[in-house]
Amino acid sequence: MKAASFAYGRPNSMSDALALLADADGEIRIMAGGQSLGPMLNLRLVQPPRIVDIAGLAELRSVERDGEALVIGACVTHADIEDGRIPDVTQGVLPRIARGIAYRAVRNRGTIGGSLGHADPAADWVTTLAALGASVQLTSSAGRRDLAVTEFIQGALQTALRPGELVTAIRLPSLSPAARFGYAKACRKPGEFAHAMAAVLIEPDTARSRIVIGAIDTTPIVIDDSSLFGGAITEFRQSFDRDLADRLLMQAGVTDPAARHIHVSVLARAIAEAAP
Amino acid sequence: MKLQLTVNGTTTEATVEPRTHLADVLRDQLDLTGTHLGCEHGVCGACTLLLDGAPARSCITLAVACDGAAVTTIEGLDEDEIAAELRTAFAREHALQCGYCTPGMIMSARDLVLRLDRPDEQAIRVGLSGNLCRCTGYVGIVRAVRAVIEARRQRGIAAVVGAGRTTLGPVGSQPGAIATATSSALPPVTEMKLSRGVALGTLDPPTAVPAKSFDASFTVNAAPEHVFALFGNVETLAACFPGATITAMPAPDHIEGEIRVAIGPLSAVFRGSARIDRNAADLSGRLIGTGRDQRSRTSTSGQISWRMLPIDQGRATRVALTIGYSLSGPLAQIARDGLVRDLASRITTTFAQNCDRHLNGTTSSAETPEPQRLNALALLLDVARQRLTGLARRMRGP
């Protein structure tokens, strides 16, 4: 239960960090708050030869407005969001989700960027930010690119991050006051990894909905049309097509009927919350 | 590496390996054994202490990451007003028995007293859910915390959102104050060298029925016979298979080699041997192999069977695969089918693309394509979260 040896670097600036990542000749792990990587190191599930600690980088511990959107530095913690130390453009959605992540002692160090970079399918941010239409800012010494969260997450613990790249920020569009959001997850105990998770965003003014089913062993299921409601976005609660949700889960590899039942029930709860 | 900490108000220097977690420095070097270690992977909460005034897990926080930080351990709360009130309440309500969880429990409880205005029992229970107690059943603990909060609110002491923290970012990780912790030499690579004397080639791959099995398929734009022939050319097959390298071929149907897998931050190199059986009559075959990852001490055996089925009047082929695997060793304790399937399907996709490319000549150097280091293949591995969850569950009992 002690980590194996590794070399450790704690760059003083973003440019130093990117240079370190660019020069890495071999395996290198990026660590922010270390609340996912730390346990894996202790269990020796990962034994990286070197770790770059980005948690102290001031550039990543900040937020800025970009028009209507909010750009959240990768090293902003769940507790920062929970406590409202950053502005909220989501009508309270973000603080609420943050409050439900793991435990306070973990939220004080765990970061939003680290959570996305780790890409655990059961992570609250993976599902929530996909539903909210957020994008990820990836920076390397060669430049910067932005990817939608749904493109960034490529599977269980798999992301589109290339060698030398760093998740530097999350760009979050503001949520219209008319938008409705529902969220539910199933955990055996509060703070435990979720066995099922769903986020539902309904935007009545634009007649759009986005539904994300997370905590499956692959990329989240994203349903951008209203097929789950028989093609119309009225009467969500009544017309929710449980069979279709069940089939989608089956296609995504959830073969256990009991697991699918939990997923569909959790989704129904999220829909019930969001339904007008 | 050298680091500086302010522990319970006293500035202290310590020299640690980067891998040392904060709790070990406090306990082993500074003799502050009040910080307890339970699970050592962030689940039980016994190691909870205050970093820059906010609770954090000291078992999953590297000491070097805390250079320049203020650390408060349970020993540092002797004179603390809230901690004193909690101690009294804990004693009164029988909120401890063996006491192992108590230092961490007090840390989390103190944080709730500071932050929660008028919590109901449920809110306190949720707030304490990251601290496991195996003795008390929590009733006394919850009662004690609630009593302290109610008494303080009655005395007009209000809760403070975020306990007054104003800066952003992980607690304990100080921006700027990191002069002493910039780098260290890469430690000697300690990866075990595979002893050739082990003679993996002599190991006969097992023919036992794999513990787990599932089907996969892909299509290739080439006739079934061509695809079957490709599957008979071991070097080409390995070149198409992400992460695979052949190190020796003692016989035409016998391979020794390795498969590199990386799932997110996890990586492993399974070295071993495999045998290929082919049946030209029905264009089928199978590969039976066995391998071992030295680092995780996990062994696997597996079997991939294939059948070439003509589609599109024989111009293309559907390759029907049955993939079976067994795992034994540390990683096997937590194997979960879904993740393996997901990764296998990604590997299959890349493998299919590589086969297609090879057969249709879209690569110029088709003879020796570089083995792709795909970030995948979990025919053999399973993942940390499941392991963590599994361990946590085992720790908590059924």
Segment among A230-234, A238-242, B172-176, B315-319 with least mean pLDDT? A230-234
- Sequence-distant (6+) residues with CB within 8 A of B99 are none
Residue of B nearest to A249 (CA): B338
Q: Where do we find the tokens 């969220």?
A: A183
Place of tokens 């707030």: B127
> How confident is the model at residue B327, as a pLDDT?
75
| Nearest CB neighbour to B48, from listed A105, A156, A218 | A105
- What's the whole-number mean pLDDT along residues B280-285? 91
Tell me which of B297 and A96 has the higher pLDDT.
A96
Shared-domain flag, residues A154 and A226: no
Summarize the confidence of residues A86-102 as an average pLDDT.
97
In whole angstroms, what is the distance from residue B373 CA to residue A240 CA? 43
Query: Does pLDDT of B80 surpass 90?
Result: yes
Q: Is residue A37 part of a domain?
A: yes
Q: What is the mean pLDDT of residues A185-196?
A: 92
Q: How far apart are CA A38 and CA A3, in angstroms?
A: 8
Does the structure show a pLDDT above 70 at A137? yes
Q: What is the pLDDT of residue B197?
A: 35
A83 occurs within a structural domain: yes
Measured CA to CA in angstroms, residue A17 lies from A57, A187, B43, B137, B179 at distances of 9, 36, 30, 47, 15
- Name the more confident of B382 and B391: B391
pLDDT of A217 higher than 90? no
Q: Which residues pair with A66 in a beta bridge?
A: A69
Over residues B275-300, mean pLDDT: 87
Q: Residue B180 pLDDT more than 60?
A: no
Residues of B in contact with A263 (CB under 8 A): none
Sheet bearing A196-203, strands edge to edge: A180-186, A196-203, A208-214, A221-223
What's the rounded mean pLDDT across residues B103-108? Answer: 98
Domain final residue, candidates A124, A150, A172: A172
**Interface touch B19/A1, C-beta < 8 Å:** no
- Whether the pLDDT of residue A202 is over 50: the answer is yes
Q: Rounded mean pLDDT of B161-177?
A: 89
Quickly list H helices, chain B.
22-24, 81-92, 102-115, 121-127, 139-154, 224-232, 234-240, 337-359, 384-396
What pLDDT does residue A253 have?
87
pLDDT in tens, A8-60: 999 999 999 999 999 877 788 999 999 999 998 998 878 889 999 999 999 99
**What is the pLDDT, as a whole number, of residue B357?**
84
* Burial (CB count within 10 angstroms: exposed 0-12, middle 13-18, buried 19+), residue A129: buried
CATH number at residue A186: 3.30.390.50
A3-17, B173-187, B377-391: least confidently modelled range: B377-391
Asked if B64 and A76 come within 8 Å (Cβ–Cβ), the reply is: no
pLDDT (tens digit, 9 = 90+) per residue, B289-314?
Answer: 888 888 777 888 888 889 999 998 88
Q: Which of residues 38-67 of A touch B (CB under 8 A)?
A: 38-51, 53, 55-58, 60-63
> Among the listed ranges A175-184, B15-24, B53-62, B286-295, which one has the minimum average pLDDT value?
B286-295
A220 touches chain B (CB under 8 A): no
B positions 135-194 inside 8 Å of A (CB): 161-162, 165-178, 181-187, 189-190
- Please report whether residue A55 resides in a domain: no
On whether any CB of chain B is under 8 Å from the CB of A167, the answer is no
User: Exposed, middle or buried: residue B388 (CB in 10 Å: 0-12, 13-18, 19+)?
Assistant: buried
What domain count does chain A have?
Answer: 3
pLDDT at B200 exceeding the cut of 70: no
Superfamily of domain B2-164, CATH level 4: Beta-grasp domain (3.10.20.30)
Please, is B26 exposed, middle or buried when counting C-beta atoms within 10 Å of its C-beta (0-12, 13-18, 19+)? buried
Residue contact A45–B55, C-beta within 8 A: no
Give me the pLDDT at residue B241, please: 82
DSSP 8-state class, residue B122: H
Band (pLDDT 50/70/90 cuts) for residue B264 is low
A2 within a domain of the structure (yes/no): no
User: Using CB atoms and an 8 Å cut-off, which of residues 234-273 of chain A contact chain B?
Assistant: 253-255
Q: Do A102 and A137 reside in the same domain of the chain? A: yes
The domain B199-396 is placed in CATH, from the list 3.40.50.300, 3.30.70.980, 3.90.180.10, 3.30.530.20, at: 3.30.530.20
- Domain around A18: 7-50
Q: With a cut of 0.90, is the ipTM above it?
A: yes
Distances (CA, A) of B331 to B270, B289, B328, B386, B387: 12, 18, 7, 10, 8
Q: Return the pLDDT at B294.
A: 83
Query: How far is Cα B108 from Cα B86, in angstroms, rounded to an integer?
Result: 11
pLDDT of residue B117: 96
Query: What pLDDT is recorded for position B350?
Result: 82
**Residues 194 to 253 of B: which have CB under 8 A from any A CB?**
none
What would the mean pLDDT of B112-134 be, rounded to a whole number?
Answer: 97
Chain B partners within 8 Å of A254 (Cβ):
338
Q: Could you tell me the pTM of the whole model? A: 0.83
Q: Would you call A157 an interface residue with chain B, using a CB distance cutoff of 8 Å? A: yes
The residues with which A148 forms a beta bridge, in sequence order, are A135
Please state, rounded to an integer, the average pLDDT across all residues of chain B. Answer: 81
Query: Where in the sequence of chain B do the CATH 3.30.530.20 domains occur?
Result: 199-396
pLDDT, tens digit, 9 for 90 and up, residues A68-81: 999 999 999 999 99
The whole-number pLDDT of residue B374 equals 36
Tell me, yes or no, whether A249 lies in a domain: yes
Question: Residue A66's domain is classified under what CATH number?
Answer: 3.30.465.10
